[in-house]
Amino acid sequence: FYYRLCADRIETPGLSTMLSQKGRELEILVGFIAEKLAGPEEREQLTNEVLEWIRQSMSKGYTWPGNFRELEQCVRNVMVHGEYRPPCSKADPIEKEDGGARTPTLNQWIQQLVNREYSKTPNLAQVADRLQVDRCTIKRYLNLPS
């Protein structure tokens, strides 16, 4: 039975690939997520709100390194909190209030690591196994409810 499941492999492009190929792909995907989260009545309003937030707040060079779930998380955060902070990449420095970069604290570094690993594989058990810590620790650094 296992062999039948593994016979056909389906490879999907990453979010950055999808968004770089088509002009309206971001709008279409945000609309789909908005309808799923808020229903068809609120779809257009939420889509416009999220797209406007992305245009104003995300840098033009943001590459959307995650997958569809990252975009879904963005829409959800903008809907609930009015903002979205993508997980920091390894190269992203932590900024001081005056605009300069500083060395991250250990907790900030661990949180960046957990966020990066979770964006690659959004499965708590797999991330916990990979980082060799308990799932509760992963949840705490992701600020997920217990």
Q: How confident is the model at residue 50 (pLDDT cuts 50, 70, 90)?
A: very high
| Amino acid at position 117, single letter | E
Mean pLDDT of 129-141: 89
Whole-model pTM over 0.85: no
